[in-house]
Structure 1
Amino acid sequence: MYLFSMKSAVQSFILFIFCIFLSCSAKNTNRVLLISFDGFRWDYIHRANNLTNFHRMISDGGWAVKGIKNTFLTKTLPNHYTIATGLYEESHGIVGNIMYDPVLNSTFHGWLDKDARDSRWWDNGGEPIWVTNQKQDTQHRSGVLAWPGGLAVVKGVLAYRTESAFDGLTKKERVDKIIEWFTDEYPINLGLYYEEEPDHTGHLFGPDSKEVLSMIFELDSLLGYFFDKLEDNDLLKTTNIILTSDHGMTSTPLDAEHKINLDDYVRVDSYSITSKNPVAGIDIIPASKELEDEVFKNLSRIPHAHVYRTKDIPRQYHYGNNRRIPMIIVEPEEHYWISFNGSAGVLGEHGYNNSLASMHPFFIAMGPDFKPGAKVDTFNNVDIYPLMCTLLGLKPAPNNGSLDVVSQLLIDREGSDSTTFGAYILILLLIALVGGLFSVAACQVHRQHKRQLRSISSFSLLHSFRYSKSDRMPLMSDSSEEEFGDS
């Protein structure tokens, strides 16, 4: 009975140790929430000292002090898909908010619902994070709210939860929606949230306007609402929050000095324009080498602008190797803008060269996997995809990103891995020790049991011997001998 009890106790202990082992070796289960505030320039958070929630993220997490470098063109749809895939625009194929595909013989208008859902435009080699998340783990589910590309099937996968940018929901209603996805019966572990401000306000009033400042405060309040909802649902401590944007914004004065009128250089009927302000993408449809040469020569006379044929676009732009890139690119200098066929300008614009600081968006992140107070100067937005894969325990699809810089914002994973390895060794030693003690104890119990059996056997033999000498029944032969002796 003692041996059985000891065996049960040892088995229970080993089972307990095994559970700890499984817990140590389990995948990271922390959620990821990626938030984009469209057109949020890197230095907007310095516009006021009392942006409580932005500053809370900086204090409790990590950030890029000088913002991050986005991709050329510095436009909304291309850069959001770059963030999602980790690829340059020439590689993932979304090279503009508007673009022409000569193979499809069709023009893409990214803000139209039909094109937002059409896989022919989005499924061109890039693998967005919501697809990677669901492909590699059947328990993983993605939710994509208004993020460009999130409504299309890519690599045969559609995000588990989707919501259109044209849903008519208010900002807070969108927050409620994504929190609902995180707390559903079958919850998501990855959520992407897109908000079109402060881009819209920046276009209308310019980046340095009081209206943009007011919108920044509104977004700070929205971020606080996010925190409250996450905390109310016990999600805040187990969610890695990444807050970033697609591009910045610069002022574009509407005076004649800063206006570039294409009609002064080329005939309206000699070209087709796809990509618009501030960078113009010019196509010649139907293609004509002679007409292309003429248009290029005339456009090259424009002051305050660089004009490139596709094959001559500088390599550092990563913008020359895709059939959807226009034949000719007109790239104005900062603050200059393009008009054609009488089109008007706006007070704020983006799309300029991605080397300009004014085009750079911000980046802040906080959560269980980010070091409080960590900071780096800058990194590339293609690095966000492999970062998210790391946080979710996923193997990244081919991408142009790197963890060299952004990993400095994370907790020490090498130290954590060493600690886990040490825990494995300790657990194995404990199991070996307990197993050894059990073996020794079992041997001792077995010897004691054998001694008891020997004692019992000896006692039985002695008792049998005594019984045979004094207490046995008389035999007939005994009495007969006595009778014959008496006679």
Structure 2
Amino acid sequence: MVGNYMYDIVRNQSFLIGTNPDQYNAHWWDGGDPFWITATREGKRTYMYYWCGCEVEIRGLRPTQCQKYPNRPPTINDTRVALTDALNKLEADTADFAGIYYELADKYGHRSGPFSSLVMGFLRDVDAQLAFLMDDLDRRGLTDKVNIMIASDHGMTTISPTRTIDLTRVMSPDDVFVTMDSGTPVLIWPRPGRLEQLYGKLAGISDHLKVYKKEDIPGRWYLKNGRLTPPLLAVADIGWTILIPKYPHFPASSATMGPMQGTHGYDNTEPDMRGIFIATGPAFRKNEVTVPLKVTDLYQVMCKIVDIPPSPHNGTWDNVSGMLAETSSSGTFFQPLTVVQVVLLNFVVFS
């Protein structure tokens, strides 16, 4: 996966998150294992709630249950229903893992900015929901039997119309076949023979824009070798956004940038792009503060907790080993485990 909006030049197909049925074709997803697929392959019972992609058959597998993402972002009440359902299954020992996605803080972070009263209200809702979760665990006697991970997939920063890089000034239909996304980053497929010419135009348009040929994309982004990575990638400086043209003859692949006061997708070394990670339960040490983690570090933690071998991944074990509690001689944890993951907050629960 290289973005919410992707183009497959071999198939001449577009992946436009939430807007086109083609996104549910397995070929978009088969390049790697989501955790629920790894766990299902190993015989674990996995329950996913509102998690994008859980309805897709990936490498011939599906989770035990997928509560599909609805036509509108799930509410905090939806989240409470999902948490209660997940805990019921964990208590009855009919589930090993549950993942719950909550998006409203992200949606309104875009619309009204990350420090808006709307976002603060949604975060208070999440805080209250977590209090409900902890009380419910205690009431059920599951506090020492369930692991909870709360993580976000990205941060958010404030943007302004006065900090816009307008690529329409230099891009023409003669140069460009497809563009994907807007804001930052922007994925660009030049027409045959036009890559160098277009790269030269884009590279000099703004001091606040970095343009990479595919082979020059920083390795730490794990993008340069991707099959779906475009020949050119444009990334704005933090707080700046990119405006791209949308030509009538283009495939239905360009996302127009609506009014926004916050966004993400910048260089992941920027402090505003940092997410959160909080975990509790028998698998984790108490009051442990970890080194800064990468999102790619979390997959191996979940595999360790449910005692399954991970598929190939880009996580670094030394980043996470210190947060885990003592294990038995077999390498597995003494207590049964669970995950509830939250996105902008993802709740993951293991039993």
1:278 alignment partner, one of 165, 181, 184: 184
Q: 2:104 aligns to what SS in structure 1?
A: coil
User: What residue is the counterpart of 2:4 in the other structure?
Assistant: 97
Q: Which moved more, 1:392-401 or 1:163-172?
A: 163-172
| Count of residue correspondences | 317
**1:116 Cα offset (Å):** 4.7
Q: 1:281 aligns to what SS in structure 2?
A: strand
Asked if structure 2 preserves the Cα contact closer than 8 Å seen for 1:279 and 1:352, the reply is yes
Matches within 5 A, 1:356-375: 356-375=270-289
Larger Rg: 1
Structure number having the greater strand percentage: 2
User: What residue is the counterpart of 1:427 in the other structure?
Assistant: none
Asked if structure 1 preserves the Cα contact closer than 8 Å seen for 2:212 and 2:232, the reply is yes
Shift in CA distance, 418/193, structure 1 to aligned 2, threshold 3 Å: closer
User: What residue is the counterpart of 1:217 in the other structure?
Assistant: 124
Asked if structure 2 preserves the Cα contact closer than 8 Å seen for 1:117 and 1:149, the reply is yes
Asked if structure 2 preserves the Cα contact closer than 8 Å seen for 1:331 and 1:352, the reply is yes
TM-superposition CA deviations, 1:20-42 (whole Å, max 9, x none): xxxxxxxxxxxxxxxxxxxxxxx
Matches within 5 A, 1:375-454: 375-413=289-327, 416-417=328-329
Partners in 1 of 2:175 and 2:132 — Cα distance?
52
Structure number having the greater helix percentage: 1
- Structure 1 residue identity aligned to 2:133: F
- Structure 2 residue identity aligned to 1:160: T
Asked if structure 2 preserves the Cα contact closer than 8 Å seen for 1:249 and 1:348, the reply is yes
Asked if structure 2 preserves the Cα contact closer than 8 Å seen for 1:275 and 1:282, the reply is no
Asked if structure 2 preserves the Cα contact closer than 8 Å seen for 1:152 and 1:158, the reply is yes
- Structure 2 residue identity aligned to 1:275: D
Matches within 5 A, 1:9-28: none
CA RMSD of aligned residues (A): 2.3
Partners in 2 of 1:268 and 1:105 — Cα distance?
17
Matches within 5 A, 1:108-119: 108-112=15-19, 114-119=21-26
State the TM-score, normalizing by the size of structure 2. 0.83
**1:172 Cα offset (Å):** 2.3
Asked if structure 2 preserves the Cα contact closer than 8 Å seen for 1:262 and 1:338, the reply is yes
Partners in 2 of 1:174 and 1:167 — Cα distance?
15
Shift in CA distance, 313/187, structure 1 to aligned 2, threshold 3 Å: same
Shift in CA distance, 351/194, structure 1 to aligned 2, threshold 3 Å: same
Matches within 5 A, 1:79-478: 94-112=1-19, 114-124=21-31, 126-137=32-43, 140-166=44-70, 170-184=75-89, 187-255=94-162, 258-267=163-172, 270-271=175-176, 272-284=178-190, 287-289=191-193, 291-303=194-206, 304-341=208-245, 343-413=257-327, 416-417=328-329
Shift in CA distance, 166/366, structure 1 to aligned 2, threshold 3 Å: same
**1:264 Cα offset (Å):** 1.5
Asked if structure 1 preserves the Cα contact closer than 8 Å seen for 2:183 and 2:257, the reply is no
Residue ranges of structure 1 left out of the alignment (5+ in a row): 1-93, 421-487
**1:253 Cα offset (Å):** 1.5
Asked if structure 1 preserves the Cα contact closer than 8 Å seen for 2:6 and 2:14, the reply is yes
**1:381 Cα offset (Å):** 1.5
**1:136 Cα offset (Å):** 1.6
Partners in 1 of 2:60 and 2:40 — Cα distance?
11
Partners in 1 of 2:65 and 2:87 — Cα distance?
10
Partners in 2 of 1:114 and 1:227 — Cα distance?
38
**1:142 Cα offset (Å):** 0.2
Shift in CA distance, 121/283, structure 1 to aligned 2, threshold 3 Å: same
